[in-house]
Structure 1
Amino acid sequence: MSVIDEVKDRLDIVEVISSYVPLQKSGRNYKALCPFHSEKTPSFVVFPDSQHWHCFGACSEGGDVFTFVMKREGWDFRTALEELARRAGVELRPRTPAQVEAQDEADRLRSALTTAAQYYNHLLRHAPEAEAARAYVTRRGLSDETIERFLLGYSLPGWERTRAYLTERGYTVEELTKAGLLVQREDGSSTYDRFRERLMIPIRDAQGRIIGFGARTLDPEGVPKYINSPQTSLFDKGRTLFGLDLARQAIRREDRVVIVEGYMDVMQAHQAGFANVVAQMGTALTEPQLRQLQRYT
Structure 2
Amino acid sequence: MDTQTLKTNTDLRQIVEHDLGPASIRSGRASLYKCPFHNERKGYSLAVWADGYRCFGACDTSGDLFDWLMNYRQISFTDALEQLGTTRPNPTIQKRSPSLAHSEPPSAQWQRNACEVVDLAEETLWSSDGEPALNYLLSRGLTSAVIRDARLGYIPGDYRDWRELCGLRVPCGITIPWFAADALWAVKVRRATGFPKYVQIAGGSSHGLYGADYLRYHQTALFCEGEFDVLVARQEVGKWLCPVSLGSASNRLPARWQAELSGCSNIFVVYDNDEAGSKGADQLLKISPRFRELKLPFAKDISDYYLHGGDVYEWLADFIGDQATYPEGIRYVR
TM-score under structure 2 length normalisation: 0.31
Q: Which has the larger radius of gyration?
A: 2
Choose between structure 1 and 2: higher helix proportion: 1
TM-score under structure 1 length normalisation: 0.34
